[in-house]
Amino acid sequence: MENYDVIVIGAGAAGMMCAIEAGRRGRSVLVIDHAKAPGEKIRISGGGRCNFTNTRTEPKNFLSANPKFAISALRRYRPTDFIALVDRHHIAWHEKTLGQLFCDDSARQIVAMLLEEMEAVGAQLRLETSVTAIDRTPEGFRLIAGGRTVTCTSLVLASGGKSIPKMGATGFAYEVAAKYGVPVVETRPALVPLTFDVSLLERLRTLAGVAVDARVSSGKTRFEEAMLFTHRGVSGPAILQISSYWREGGEIEIDMAPGTDVFELLREARRTSGKQAVATVLSRILPKSLANHIAVTGGAVGNIADANDALLRRLAGSVSAWRVKPVGSEGYRTAEVTLGGVDTDALDSRTMAVKAVPGLYFIGEAVDVTGWLGGYNFQWAWASGWCCGQAV
Ligand code: FDA
């Protein structure tokens, strides 16, 4: 039988950060993961360059049944703390946009950095190991992992959410929560492309692959970023962002020329360039195929001089206030994160400890704290892992 102060299940962003901090405090730490390699989501994140934090991180960038829960951890471990760690390891980085920081070279550098830090504090890593039993003992927990019995005083669930099952994502943290009576807020795929019904897809067929800067709204929430038409519906940053707020049965509104008064633009063109086709005028502000699609489906096939105000207004509406009802999302198969998770009401916001079960902790994506696109989810993983590492 092997005994540890701390066992962390999940060698992802949150689990490795927790292991480093607990190890730094002199705790004996074992990290268990069923995957072949640690930090696989870090490796593939940010297109292979890992958007590892966001300098503008604020509580408002997160969704949770209790929006106040994340404040404490986000204050205690800030983007500047992670940047300092990255700098100590001489990893070059740059700001891409909107406070999003990426590695200049490779996301693998972040994984290597975390492994190096773990090794430096003596935290052990056991890969390709599944946990088949967890039981409470008077001192803490006893686990069967990879056929061996291991015990610990503190057990940390850092096994992430359900997104991308192909990469080894499981609902394991939720199962453990259920076993110990810890409530779980209903989960759903988030930061995920949205899908349209077949008849709409057929009408939009020629647009697959077309990208446009857009302002996308669901209720009072709106995001202004790029949007992409796909063979299944829509994707791109603006859509991924809004997917965390959209619910089945609801509409989204898409403005494909934010900041432009399209009706005025069309009227002005009618005055000054009457011989131009409507599609040509629209292509001043939209990709050509999209401009063409909007003109044709709007019935504006001739010169703009022939279009009356009512038609121009309709066309402007199609560009600036396209209301569309997605039928669903691409699901966990492609979702970047899982919305919902372990109910924060059950956790101590300073330590991530389950209030009712001494020695049990949940961190990272497994918890009902979900960030926007843009490095916020890793910042939550680092912050929650760091706080837990100070307590276990
Ligand atoms: P994470 O999922 O990283 O780690 C969980 C670990 O637990 C995994 O190693 C898994 O193998 C292991 N595990 C699961 N079940 C287990 C079990 N039953 N037994 C043992 N081990 C188990 N975020 C961001 O801020 N910036 C970005 O650039 C991106 N980019 C991005 C791209 C893509 C394609 C995806 C899918 C996601 C992102 N994200 C992101 C989101 C980010 O990857 C995510 O929020 C964090 O990885 C969550 O960290 P965790 O440590 O909580 O879980």
Q: Supply the ipTM of this predicted assembly.
A: 0.99
Atom 48 of ligand 1: nearest residue by CA position: 365
Please check whether residue 215 is in contact with residue 352, taking contact to mean a CB–CB distance below 8 angstroms: no
Residue bearing the CA closest to ligand 1, atom 45: 377
Same domain, 94 and 26: yes
Residues near 155 by beta carbon (within 8 Å), at least 6 away in sequence: 6, 7, 9, 134, 140, 141, 143, 359, 360, 361
Q: Which residues contact 170 (CB under 8 A, 6 or more apart)?
A: 34, 159, 162
Same domain assignment for residues 266 and 348: no
pLDDT at 64: 98
Same domain, 271 and 366: no
Q: How far is the CA of 325 from the centre of ligand 1 (A)?
A: 30
The Å distance, Cα 308 to ligand 1 centre, comes to 54
CA neighbours within 13 Å on the CB side: how many for 200?
Answer: 15
What does the pLDDT read at residue 361? 99
Q: What CATH number is given to the structural domain containing 7? A: 3.50.50.60
Q: List, for residues 291-315, the tens digit of each pLDDT value.
A: 999 999 999 988 999 999 999 999 9
Say how many domains are in the chain.
2
Residues 160 and 280 in one domain: no
CB 363 within 8 A of CB 381: yes
Q: Are residues 255 and 148 in the same domain?
A: no
Q: What number is the average pLDDT over the span 248-276? A: 97
CA of 244 from ligand 1 middle (Å) equals: 17
299 in the same domain as 241: yes
Of 277, 299, 329, the position where a domain reaches its end is: 329
For position 168, what pLDDT does the model report?
A: 85
Q: How far is the CA of 13 from the centre of ligand 1 (A)?
A: 7
Ligand 1 is surrounded, with C-beta below 6 A, by 9-15, 32-35, 40-41, 44-46, 50-51, 130-131, 158-160, 163-164, 168, 170, 172, 336-337, 364-365, 375-378, 381
What are the residues whose beta carbons fall under 8 Å from the beta carbon of 251, sequence distance 6 or more? 218, 323, 324, 325
Cβ atoms < 10 Å from Cβ of 41: 24
- Say yes or no: 224 and 304 in one domain: yes
93 and 242 in a common domain: no
Task: State whether 37 and 133 are in the same domain.
Answer: yes
User: Domain limits at 237?
Assistant: 193-329
pTM to 2 decimals?
A: 0.97
pLDDT at 4: 98
CATH assignment of the domain containing 259: 2.40.30.10
User: Span 95-123, mean pLDDT?
Assistant: 97
Cα separation of 377 and 193, whole Å? 17
Q: In the listed set 329, 349, 376, which residue is the last one of a domain according to the structure? A: 329
Q: Are residues 90 and 110 in the same domain?
A: yes
Query: Are residues 252 and 142 both part of a single domain?
Result: no
pLDDT digits (tens, 9 = 90+) for 187-200: 999 999 999 999 99
Query: Are 37 and 169 in a shared domain?
Result: yes
Across the chain, what does the average pLDDT equal?
A: 97
Read off the pLDDT of each residue in 327-336 and give the average, rounded to a whole number: 97
